[in-house]
């Protein structure tokens, strides 16, 4: 009987856990739990970091697309950058053609109109007219109060045809003379100047503010509300935008280069953009 009881007790003890074993199990479970929590935490942080980088990359793509597409429409020789390099300004081309006759200085034709090859109906057929905008001082191109000049002081629109050519007449019958003619008889129909500028941490696009002869007055003359001031990006590092312009030569087209730094608010991670835009038009 005693032997049997001892065997039963032995069997009973074999099915239990000692206090030390329980402690070991608790410690192991704690280690596994801590590891799982850290794994989930790192995974979540990685997702947040990826989302933040994707946001910066998406903003960079929007900035590059807007700047590139808009600057490529610049009138040849019309790009200028302010002293701080925070603004780039240009005159956008709406359409182009070849003139048959134009009031060039010394020509005996009426100074109220320009005759040109008809423009495709899908293109803009009214605006400021520019002929051979090659200047030694870029500010002269933006001073459209000067006559003779490079950009007409008034908008011109088609009023009829003559001998198969479209007749562009200056608004209100105004007179104007162009300083010089184009070797290829090119003429451009343009809009008012446009600009990209950084203010604080925001990059804005400006339009419909008129012609400003001296670029040092650009900052105080820009519009401050929609629809003439449009937000392009609001994640810029303060004073990070740097525009520069390389004029065209006989071997290459003009280049607009820019650098800017994007950053997420409250984080140290940044994204630097360096881009060049080629101005393909020729005068």
- Is 109 in the same domain as 185? yes
Radius of gyration of the chain (CA): 34
Task: Return the pLDDT at 157.
Answer: 96
Are 85 and 198 contained in the same domain?
Answer: yes
Domain contains 174: yes
Number of domains in the chain: 2
Give me the average pLDDT of each 10-residue run along the chain (283 residues): 55 62 74 68 56 78 94 94 96 96 95 95 92 93 94 96 96 96 95 96 96 94 95 92 90 91 80 90 73
Q: Is 202 helix (H, G, I), strand (E, B) or coil?
A: strand
Residues 239, 185: one domain? no
Per the domain annotation, does 23 fall within a domain? no
**Domain encompassing residue 181:** 93-190
Q: How far apart are CA 227 and CA 209, in angstroms?
A: 11
The whole-angstrom separation of Cα 23 and Cα 17 is 10
The answer on 150 and 162 residing in a single domain is yes
Among 161, 190, 219, residue at a domain's last position: 190
Q: Do 201 and 70 sit in the same domain of this protein? A: yes
Q: Is-contact 196 223, C-beta < 8 A?
A: no
Cα distance between residue 193 and residue 113, in whole Å: 22
Same domain, 183 and 97: yes
| Dmax (CA) of the chain | 140
Residues 97 and 74 in one domain: no
Query: pTM of the predicted model, to two decimals?
Result: 0.82
pLDDT at 56: 82
Together in a domain, 170 and 101: yes
Residue 280: predicted pLDDT = 78
Position 22 in a domain:
no
Q: Are strands 270-279 and 80-81 parallel, antiparallel or unpaired?
A: unpaired
Could you tell me if 209 and 223 are in contact, meaning their C-beta atoms sit under 8 angstroms apart?
yes
Residue 216 lies in a domain: yes
Dihedral angle at the C-alpha atoms of 21, 26, 29, 35, nearest 10 degrees?
A: -120
4, part of any domain: no
Rounded to whole angstroms, how far apart are CA atoms 209 and 193? 8
Would you say residue 34 lies in a domain?
Answer: no
pLDDT score recorded for residue 82: 96
3-state secondary structure of 63: helix
79 and 145 in a single domain? The answer is no
158 and 123 in a single domain? The answer is yes
Paired with 186 in beta bridges are 98
Q: What is the pLDDT of residue 122?
A: 86
């Amino acid at each position: 009987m005693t032997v049997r009881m001892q065997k039963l007790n032995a069997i009973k003890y074999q099915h239990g856990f000692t206090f030390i074993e329980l402690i070991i199990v608790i410690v192991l479970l704690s280690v596994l739990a801590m590891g799982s929590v850290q794994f989930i935490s790192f995974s979540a942080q990685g997702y947040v970091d990826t989302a933040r980088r994707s946001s910066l990359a998406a903003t960079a793509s929007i900035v590059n697309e807007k700047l590139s597409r808009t600057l490529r429409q610049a009138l040849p020789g019309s790009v200028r950058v302010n002293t701080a390099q925070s603004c780039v300004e240009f005159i956008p081309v709406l359409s182009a053609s070849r003139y048959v006759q134009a009031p060039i200085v010394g020509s005996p034709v009426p100074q109220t109109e320009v005759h040109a090859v008809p423009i495709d109906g899908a293109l803009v057929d009214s605006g400021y007219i520019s002929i051979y905008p090659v200047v030694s001082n870029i500010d002269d191109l933006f001073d459209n109060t000067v006559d003779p000049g490079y950009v007409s002081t008034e908008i011109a629109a088609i009023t009829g045809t003559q001998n198969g050519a479209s007749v562009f007449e200056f608004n209100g019958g105004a007179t104007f003379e162009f300083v010089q003619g184009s070797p290829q008889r090119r003429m451009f129909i343009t809009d008012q100047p446009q600009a990209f500028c950084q203010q604080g941490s925001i990059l804005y696009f400006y339009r419909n503010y008129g012609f400003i002869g001296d670029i040092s007055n650009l900052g105080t003359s820009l519009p401050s509300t929609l629809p003439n001031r449009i937000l392009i990006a609001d994640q810029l590092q303060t004073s990070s935008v740097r525009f520069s312009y390389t004029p065209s030569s006989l071997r290459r087209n003009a280049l607009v280069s820019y650098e800017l730094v994007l950053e997420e608010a409250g984080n140290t991670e940044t994204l630097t953009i360096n881009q060049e835009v080629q101005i393909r038009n020729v005068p």
